[in-house]
Amino acid sequence: MFKIVDRRYAIDGRKLQLAREEKGLNMSEFAYICGWTAGYQWQIENGEHYTVSESTKNVIESALK
């Protein structure tokens, strides 16, 4: 009846913020690259979303390359 559709990954918002800043990107720029709003980016970086889906994890990893 049920199957796993989406894995969740714990994320450290502070580490993400530091990595974003190392790339020289502000929150809005990074959010635009990732394809979501600055508000969602704020929620990730400030711990309102402490887990993310596998697809979100992949987008973040690509944006930080």
Cα angle for residues 45, 36, 60 (degrees, 5° grid):
55
Which amino acid is residue 59, in one-letter code?
A: V
What are the domain boundaries of the chain?
10-53
Would you place residue 7 in the very low, low, confident or very high pLDDT band (cuts 50, 70, 90)? confident
Residue 46 has pLDDT above 80, yes or no: yes
**pTM assigned to the model:** 0.85
pLDDT of 2 reads 55
- Stretch 17-32: mean pLDDT: 98
Q: Report residue 49 as tokens.
A: 């979303």
